[in-house]
C-alpha cells in the first residue's frame, strides 16, 4: 500500500465551508455511497468522471421512492398515481429549464443523452435545413457523437462537414474559425468542454460570430454542466445538449434545449404514442413541442433521478464548486509533474479538470490496469475523440477526470501509484 500520508506538493486551500448552500468536497462525499467501497482491496478513487459521474443518495432515494410509491405511466392516466408521476416528470422538465436558464420548460426535450440529442437535431433540423454546398463547422476536439451524426446527415443532404483546427495547446483556433465561417455556414457545433483536453472554448463569442453569418449553433454540454453554471440565453445557443449520467443522474436520460422558435418549426423525429394530437388513416396531427419530440413512454424514473440530481447540485454553492475544482486541478497538475515520463495533452488556459496523459514506457491500457489494482479508476483509449488525439499524434491516452467529490488525497493516490509504476519498470 503506497504511503499517501504526506502531501506531494502544497495542498489546495479553498476557503469554502459548510452546507446547505455552501460546499466542501468532504461533506459532499458523504452523499455518495459508492465512494466508500473498496476496489481490489483499496478504498475506491473514482477518477473516471468524464465517462460517468457517481450518484448521490438523494438520486438513489428518489428512484427508490418513485418505484416504491408512485410508479405509473404519464400524460394519459386518469388516476392519482398517473397524475403524480406526470407532475414529477414535468417538474423535471421545469428544473432542467431553470438549470440551463431556458425561458420555458417547453424548450426542453427529454432524450437518452447527448448522443441522442445531437442525432435528433441532425435528423430533424438538419434534414430540413441542410443542402448541397452547405457547411457544418465541427471543431477537431469534438466527441464522436458530435461528429458522426453530422457526417451521416451531410452525406444524405450533400452538405459538408468542415473541421475547425486546434492550436497546439488544444484550443479551437479562433482565426481559422473566423476564416472558415461564410455565407455557406449553416451550422456550427461546439463542445462547451472537451472530454479529452478539458478545453472550455469561448462559446458565447463563437456563437455571436456564427449568428452574424446566419448559422445556427449547437452546444454539446455533456462535460460542462457538472462543472460550472450554464445560461443558454447568455451563450446565445440555438441548441444545448446534456447527458444526465455525467450530471450525477441515472444513465439513459438527457435533455436537449432548443430555442423555441426553432423547436416549434421542427418536424417530428420519431412517431408513436405521446407525440400525437389525433391519429387517423386519413390524417394524423401532432402534439405541440416538446411532446411532439418525445414518442413513446419516456424514461420517467430517469427524469425523476435527473430532477433529484439537479436539485442536489443546485443546492450547493456552484461558484465555490468551480473554484474548488480549479484549485484541485492546479494541485493535480503540479503533482503529476513529479511523475517521470508523464506528458499531459491539452493546456488551454480555460479548462475543466480533465487530465489526459501518456506515460513513457507504458501503453495507456497498462497504466489504467496498474492504477485499477490500486483501486484507482481512470480511462484509457481514444475517449471517443480520435481526431483530438490524432492532433497530438496519438491513438490512445490515459485520462483522469475530476469531479467535485474528488480530493487532494485522491490526486496523491494517483500520483503515488503512477510513480510506483515508473519505479517498477
Confirm or reject binding of residue 119 to ligand PMP (CB under 6 A). no
Active site residue 384: yes
Interface with ligand PMP (CB under 6 A), residue from 119, 195, 356, 406? 195
Pairing of the two strands 135-139 and 160-164: parallel
* Residue number, 70 or 193, with CB nearest to ligand PMP: 193
Residue in the structure block whose three cell numbers are 453569418: 213
Interface with ligand PMP (CB under 6 A), residue from 49, 199, 223, 407? 223
**Nearest Cα to 120, choosing from 289, 267, 299?**
267
For the CB of residue 345, give the shortest distance to ligand PMP in the complex, in Å.
Answer: 16
Choose the catalytic residue: 333, 377, 384, 394: 384
* Residue number, 50 or 359, with CB nearest to ligand PMP: 50
What distance in Å separates the CA atoms of residue 44 and residue 37, rounded to the nearest whole number? 6
Site track 292-331 with ligand PMP (rule: CB under 6 A), x = hit: ----------------------------------------
Q: Is 405 helix (H, G, I), strand (E, B) or coil?
A: coil
DSSP characters over 70-90: T----SS--SHHHHHHHHHHH
Interface with ligand PMP (CB under 6 A), residue from 55, 93, 143, 379? 143
Pairing of the two strands 376-377 and 45-46: parallel
CB 240 within 8 A of CB 229: no
Interface with ligand PMP (CB under 6 A), residue from 12, 56, 92, 113? 113
For the CB of residue 224, give the shortest distance to ligand PMP in the complex, in Å.
Answer: 8
354 DSSP β-pair partners: 401
Judged by CB under 6 A, which stretch of 16-24, 132-140, 220-228, 360-368 contacts ligand PMP? 220-228
Judged by CB under 6 A, which stretch of 62-70, 215-223, 289-297, 400-408 contacts ligand PMP? 215-223
CB 248 within 8 A of CB 54: yes
Long-range CB contact pairs, 154-159, < 8 A, 24+: 154/130, 156/127, 157/126, 157/127, 157/130, 157/131, 157/132, 158/131, 158/132, 158/133, 159/130, 159/131, 159/132, 159/133, 159/134, 159/135, 159/186
CB 258 within 8 A of CB 266: yes
DSSP characters over 227-262: TS---HHHHT-SEEEEEGGGTTS-TT-EEEEE-HHH
For the CB of residue 129, give the shortest distance to ligand PMP in the complex, in Å.
Answer: 22
Judged by CB under 6 A, which stretch of 30-38, 205-213, 218-226, 309-317 contacts ligand PMP? 218-226
Confirm or reject binding of residue 145 to ligand PMP (CB under 6 A). yes
CB 76 within 8 A of CB 68: no
Judged by CB under 6 A, which stretch of 160-168, 217-225, 258-266, 355-363 contacts ligand PMP? 217-225
Confirm or reject binding of residue 157 to ligand PMP (CB under 6 A). no
Interface with ligand PMP (CB under 6 A), residue from 24, 53, 114, 358? 114
Judged by CB under 6 A, which stretch of 59-67, 138-146, 156-164, 289-297 contacts ligand PMP? 138-146
| Backbone φ and ψ of 148, nearest 5° | -65, -40
For the CB of residue 115, give the shortest distance to ligand PMP in the complex, in Å.
Answer: 3
Residue in the structure block whose three cell numbers are 484507482: 376
Query: Which grid coordinates belong to 7?
Result: 502531501
Q: Is 394 helix (H, G, I), strand (E, B) or coil?
A: coil
- Binders of ligand PMP in range 43-62 (CB under 6 A): 50
Confirm or reject binding of residue 222 to ligand PMP (CB under 6 A). yes
Confirm or reject binding of residue 384 to ligand PMP (CB under 6 A). yes
Interface with ligand PMP (CB under 6 A), residue from 24, 53, 115, 408? 115
Interface with ligand PMP (CB under 6 A), residue from 53, 157, 243, 358? 243
Size of the site for ligand PMP (CB under 6 A): 15
For the CB of residue 274, give the shortest distance to ligand PMP in the complex, in Å.
Answer: 22
For the CB of residue 422, give the shortest distance to ligand PMP in the complex, in Å.
Answer: 29
CB 224 within 8 A of CB 352: yes
Catalytic (active-site) positions: 384
Residues making contact with ligand PMP (CB under 6 A) = 50, 113-115, 143, 145-146, 191, 195, 220, 222-223, 243, 245, 384
Amino acid at each position: 500500500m503506497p504511503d499517501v500520508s504526506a502531501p506531494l506538493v502544497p495542498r489546495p486551500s479553498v476557503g469554502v465551508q459548510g452546507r446547505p448552500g455552501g460546499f466542501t468536497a468532504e461533506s459532499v462525499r458523504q452523499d455518495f455511497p459508492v465512494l466508500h467501497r473498496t476496489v481490489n482491496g483499496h478504498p475506491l478513487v473514482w477518477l473516471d468522471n468524464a465517462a460517468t459521474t457517481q450518484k448521490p443518495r438523494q438520486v438513489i432515494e428518489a428512484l427508490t421512492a418513485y418505484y416504491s410509491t408512485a410508479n405509473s405511466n404519464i400524460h394519459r392516466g386518469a388516476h392519482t398515481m398517473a397524475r403524480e408521476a406526470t407532475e414529477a416528470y414535468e417538474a423535471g422538465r421545469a428544473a432542467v429549464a431553470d438549470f440551463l436558464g431556458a425561458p420555458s420548460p417547453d424548450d426542453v426535450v427529454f432524450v437518452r443523452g447527448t448522443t441522442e440529442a445531437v442525432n435528433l437535431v441532425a435528423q430533424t433540423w438538419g434534414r430540413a435545413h441542410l443542402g448541397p454546398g452547405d457547411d457544418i463547422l465541427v471543431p477537431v476536439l469534438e466527441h464522436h457523437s458530435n461528429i458522426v451524426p453530422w457526417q451521416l446527415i451531410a452525406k444524405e443532404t450533400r452538405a459538408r462537414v468542415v473541421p475547425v483546427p486546434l492550436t497546439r495547446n488544444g484550443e479551437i483556433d479562433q482565426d481559422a474559425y473566423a476564416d472558415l465561417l461564410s455565407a455557406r455556414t449553416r451550422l456550427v457545433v461546439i463542445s462547451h468542454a472537451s472530454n479529452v483536453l478539458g478545453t472550455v472554448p469561448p462559446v458565447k463569442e463563437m456563437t455571436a460570430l456564427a449568428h452574424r453569418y446566419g448559422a445556427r449553433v449547437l452546444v454539446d454540454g455533456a462535460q460542462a454542466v457538472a462543472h460550472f453554471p450554464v445560461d443558454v440565453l447568455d451563450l446565445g445557443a440555438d441548441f444545448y445538449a446534456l447527458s444526465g449520467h455525467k450530471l450525477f443522474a441515472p444513465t439513459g436520460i438527457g435533455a436537449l434545449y432548443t430555442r423555441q422558435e426553432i423547436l416549434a418549426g421542427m418536424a417530428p423525429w420519431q412517431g408513436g404514442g405521446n407525440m400525437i394530437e389525433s391519429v387517423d388513416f386519413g390524417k394524423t396531427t401532432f402534439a405541440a413541442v416538446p411532446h411532439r419530440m418525445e414518442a413513446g413512454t419516456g424514461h420517467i424514473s430517469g427524469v425523476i433521478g435527473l430532477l433529484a440530481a439537479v436539485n442536489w447540485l443546485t443546492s450547493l454553492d456552484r461558484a465555490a464548486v468551480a473554484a474548488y475544482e480549479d484549485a484541485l486541478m492546479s494541485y493535480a497538475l503540479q503533482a503529476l509533474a513529479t511523475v517521470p515520463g508523464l506528458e499531459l495533452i491539452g493546456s488551454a488556459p480555460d479548462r475543466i479538470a480533465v487530465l489526459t496523459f501518456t506515460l513513457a514506457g507504458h501503453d495507456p491500457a497498462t497504466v489504467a490496469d496498474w492504477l485499477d489494482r490500486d483501486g484507482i479508476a481512470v480511462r484509457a483509449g481514444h475517449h471517443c475523440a480520435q481526431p483530438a488525439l490524432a492532433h497530438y499524434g496519438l491513438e490512445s491516452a490515459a485520462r483522469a477526470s475530476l469531479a467535485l467529490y474528488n480530493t487532494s488525497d485522491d490526486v496523491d493516490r494517483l500520483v503515488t501509484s503512477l510513480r510506483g509504476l515508473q519505479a517498477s519498470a
